[in-house]
Amino acid sequence: MALVAVGVLATACGSGGETTAEGGAPASGGGDSTITMGFAQVGAESGWRTANTKSVQESAKAAGIDLKFSDAQQKQENQIKAIRSYIQQKVDVIAFSPVVESGWDTVLQEAKAANIPVILTDRAVDSPDKTLYKTFLGSDFVEEGKKAGQWLVEQYASETGDVNIVELQGTTGSAPANDRKAGFAEVIGADPKFKVIASQSGDFTRAKGKEVMDAFLKANPDIDVLYAHNDDMGLGAIEAIEGAGKVPGKDIKIITVDAVKDGMQALADGKINYIVECSPLLGPQLMDLAKKVLAGETVPDRVVTEETTFTQEQAKQALPTRQY
Ligand code: GYE
């Protein structure tokens, strides 16, 4: 119920005026009716997510797409409800960022049966049936994990002793948590001196990052490195590290992923050592893909976001013009 209400609200302050004709087949893009997109967002768990939501909302407006937006508060059941409500409302296209990878086949089959194309943004699903969605737009999270691992390998190249690493994982079962863990493990696995001594989910939030890091610090007196799957968990962990009387960035080296403003500030301030960028600005490409799909044009199965990495010096230079 609440989800529908949110959708209606978002519509009311959207492009205004026109609505999609009811009942008929999805807009082909050829007519002059406004495209309606139902977007089922993960939640508002991080700075990345806030920037992503803003990008989607602003791009829909700019593209003249009528956006119905819902926030699932990191719960798959809420996302499934939102998608079902979009199917019922006969939107032209559904886009969503799946909170976890598994368990989507049924609802995606329902969308397919209703002839409503689905676009995955940001996170992947593990359905073997690739006909359940038109395309997947987002980052290569395995690559991000590898970049984090490569920096670590370079930093400790001349050291021979053990390097004790703790890992703050993203939301359990999510594509970025699974893949960032796997990519990192693959790279550091080549040298047995790298030891992941604790690894646990911090749910991509600052509060959980702090809580789990507190526990890590209590259980492990000798932590050399923290690898956090996003900036927010890293920022929460910094509070825990300072609270334990240690110096983040020095006593414990910190690597995070995202490169949102607060993370970049901490990097420039020397509290984080390295950030692997993950761009949340997916809105313009998403709107473009939706228009193409509805116009019957072929789109690539996979559109990978371009991204970079930042050292402390690079963060200082990039900060003044950073958009998010
Ligand atoms: O890294 C994290 C967010 O799916 C890429 O989700 C996204 C991740 C991002 O909560 O901050």
- The domain ranges of the chain are 18-138+280-306, 141-278
pTM here is 0.90
Candidate from 41, 48, 101, 277 with most ligand 1 atoms within 8 A of CB, to mutate: 48
pLDDT score at 9: 37
Q: Which atom of ligand 1 is nearest to the CA of 139?
A: 5
Contacts of 116 (CB under 8 A, 6+ apart): 26, 86, 87, 90, 91, 92, 93, 94
Local confidence pLDDT in tens for the 324 residues of the chain: 334 333 333 333 333 333 333 334 444 444 558 999 999 999 999 999 999 999 999 999 999 999 999 999 999 999 999 999 999 999 999 999 999 999 999 999 999 999 999 999 999 999 999 999 999 999 999 999 999 999 999 999 999 999 999 999 999 999 999 999 999 999 999 999 999 999 999 999 999 999 999 999 999 999 999 999 999 999 999 999 999 999 999 999 999 999 999 999 999 999 999 999 999 999 999 999 999 999 999 999 999 999 999 999 999 999 999 989
For residue 72 the two structure tokens come to 């699932």
**158 CA from centroid of ligand 1 (Å):** 33
Q: Which CATH number applies to 18-138+280-306?
A: 3.40.50.2300
- For 306, the token pair is 């371009």
For residues 129 and 131, give the distance between their C-alpha atoms in angstroms, rounded to a whole number.
5
Domains 18-138+280-306 and 141-278 belong to one CATH topology: yes
CA of 54 to the centre of ligand 1 (A): 14
Determine the distance separating the centroid of ligand 1 and the alpha carbon of 148, expressed in angstroms. Answer: 15
Domain spanning 141-278, CATH class: alpha beta
Measured in Å, residue 47 CA sits from the centre of ligand 1 at 9
pLDDT for the residue 33: 82
How far apart are the C-alpha atoms of 77 and 244, rounded to whole Å? 38
Q: Which residues line ligand 1 (CB under 6 A)?
A: 45-46, 48-49, 122-123, 176, 204, 230, 232, 257-258, 278
